[in-house]
Amino acid sequence: MKYLIWSIFIIPAFLLLLTGCQPEKSTEKAKTHTLKLTSYPEGAVAYVAGKKFDLPHNFRMTAGTYLFRIEKPGHAPAWFSCRVQSSGITVPVSGLDGTVRWEKYTMDSKQIELTPHGGTVLLQSNPNTAKIIQDGRDLGVTPMVLTDLPVGKHEVQLKSPNYADVTVSWEIRDSSPMIVHADLQSNIGQLLVNSTPAQARLFIDNQFIGVTPYRGTCAVGSHAIRLQRDGYLPYEGHITLLKGKLTEKDVTLTVSPSNLNVISEPTGAQVFLNDQLRGVTPLNLKDLPAGKYKIVVSHDGFDQVEDSVELAPGDTLKKEFILASSQGGIELNVFPAGVKVFLNGREVGVVEQGEGKTQTKLIPIHNLSPGVYIVKAVHKRTNPEIRRIRVQKGKITRPKRIELWVPNAEIMWKDTGKTEIGMIYGESEKIILFGPQRGIRYEIDKNQLKSIKFLDINE
């Protein structure tokens, strides 16, 4: 990133210096200015106008433009430019748009900071393929070449199954390549796990390793153990392994009860299990004995449905019921936000703002008897919109979006500075759909506008 910043700074400056780095001719009376150049770290040299100078150095300069190249072994070169006039010294400053302007430099010295070249390390381990972790980040596995390492101390952790973790550190002093090697120490014990019944799935530290009866190796220390078998409750516990020792674990699993999950569309339906009310959907019935069950699902305004299930030990079943409604509904898409909506003269809601300035949330109106309804959208800034909407049995009617012309934005044209108040119907990255008055709308390129100010719709 630093090199990119220097490029942005130096290239425009260099273009200004195409006439050369020698002092420009001036009709002003010769006058010199002194600027002391230093470097960090010390020991750098500066080249200017084909001459070499050890830093620090006091440069006495007459009128002209100067370009300095600062070098030091093991570091990236740096550049510095200045312009000398009778009034003083100025330096180039690069703007965000790539243009360069000259600003007066008021200091009598300038320190140039040099960036060291990065170091390279070959990281090896025995055995190979050890995971390399640095500050919680997974860098890869050994052997690995790490490049562009800054000068200073570095530390990583090496991890490998059945081996003890090891911390490796080294210090980068310059760009010379290094080899860092680490030997990992074996860290395993023997493990024997039995279960009643057998063929249970065995997890160690949340990793599946086999089925019971299981015999194998594992890293020493404390580990979380979990056994799972269909029809039985899972077992969770801990074991501690010792290096070179056999650790045994015997587990008797408990038969799990059955579960029944009842869901419906719509939700909130009553659920009867063997003629007993057990709750409303969505309903998760746990710890049920195995056997046959009659399920009845009932909801106001919908046809009652009935079914049966048979639960085996440890089963978890899901039953889904789609209820047929004798009623209908409406989902209204009204724009803009702040509009009040009435259904047959009764207020049913106020339009709310959606995710964007030109989006609004739907207004759902459910449980309506079949027939024709009058929808009226009202806002104090404009005339109301009225729609006749037919509701059908068992269906949700989604009519065409209702749009009111309500001024919601003020735009300012870039070329004239003129402002207009109107309605923004839609907006993309480059275009807005603008309506200066009711019934008129057209697209405007955002590049033509100086500003877009959205108005408070409730004012």
Condensed to tens digits (0 to 9), the pLDDT of residues 367-388 reads 888 899 999 999 988 889 999 9
pTM, to two decimals? 0.31
pLDDT value at 4 more than 50: no
Q: Which two tokens stand for residue 350?
A: 């106020």
pLDDT digits (tens, 9 = 90+) for 395-441: 899 999 998 888 888 999 999 999 999 888 888 889 999 999 888 98
Domain ranges of the chain: 2-113, 119-183, 188-252, 258-322, 328-403, 409-454
- pLDDT digit string (tens) for 18-51? 333 444 444 445 689 999 999 999 999 999 989 9
- Residues with Cβ < 8 Å from 53, sequence gap 6 or more? 37, 45, 46, 47, 59
CATH of domain 188-252: 2.60.40.1120
Q: CA torsion 126→127→129→135, rounded to 10°?
A: -50
pLDDT at residue number 251 = 95
At residue 31, the pLDDT reads 82
- The pLDDT of residue 459 is 60
- pLDDT reported for residue 22: 44
Give the DSSP H or E segment for 411: strand 409-413
What does CATH list as the number for 119-183? Answer: 2.60.40.10
Instruction: Evaluate if residue 10 carries a pLDDT over 80.
Output: no
So what's the pLDDT on residue 381?
A: 82
Bridging pattern class, strands 246-252 and 235-241 = unpaired
Phi, psi for residue 326 in degrees, rounded to 5: -90, 0
> Which pair of tokens denotes residue 332?
């209204």
How far, in Å, CA of 301 to CA of 393, rounded?
11
Q: From 301, 287, 293, select the one nearest 271 (Cα to Cα).
A: 293
pLDDT of 116 higher than 90? no
Q: Starting at the edge strand that comes first in sequence, how are the strands of the sheet with 188-196 ordered?
A: 214-219, 188-196, 246-252
> Does the structure show a pLDDT above 50 at 103?
yes
Count Cα neighbours of 238 within 13 Å in the Cβ-side half-sphere: 5
Per-residue pLDDT band for 269 (boundaries 50, 70, 90) equals very high
The answer to whether 296 and 281 are in contact (CB under 8 A) is no
Q: Quickly list DSSP for 301-337.
A: TB--EEEEEEEPTT-EEEEEEEPPBS-EEEEE-EEST
Cβ atoms of residues 376 and 384 within 8 Å: yes
pLDDT at 7: 41
Amino acid 185: pLDDT: 81
pLDDT digits (tens, 9 = 90+) for 300-322: 878 889 999 998 887 889 999 99
Q: What is the mean pLDDT of residues 238-258?
A: 89
Q: Which residue has the higher pLDDT, 66 or 147?
A: 66
| Digit-coded pLDDT (tens) for 125-135 | 998 999 999 99
For residue 458, the model assigns a pLDDT of: 66
- Indicate the pLDDT class of residue 390, thresholds 50, 70 and 90: very high
Residue 457: predicted pLDDT? 67
Query: Of 165-169, 259-263, 274-278, 286-290, where does mean pLDDT reach its minimum?
Result: 286-290
Give residue-wise pLDDT tens across range 208-223: 999 999 998 888 889 9
Of the options 2.60.120, 2.60.40, 1.10.1060, 1.20.120, the CATH number for the domain spanning 2-113: 2.60.40
Q: What sign for the dihedral angle of Cα 39, 40, 45, 50?
A: negative
* The CATH classification of domain 328-403, taken from the options 2.60.40.1120, 3.40.50.300, 2.60.40.420, 3.40.50.2300: 2.60.40.1120
Same fold, 2-113 and 188-252: yes
Cβ–Cβ < 8 Å for 234, 228: yes
What does the pLDDT look like over 329-365, one tens digit per residue?
Answer: 999 999 888 899 999 999 999 999 888 777 889 999 9
Beta bridge partner(s), residue 300: none
d(CA 376, CA 193): 72
**pLDDT at res. 370:** 86
Residue 360 is given by DSSP the state B
258-322: CATH number: 2.60.40.10
**Is the separation of the CB atoms in 182 and 168 below 8 Å?**
yes
Task: Decide: residue 270, CB within 10 A, 0-12 exposed, 13-18 middle, 19+ buried.
Answer: middle
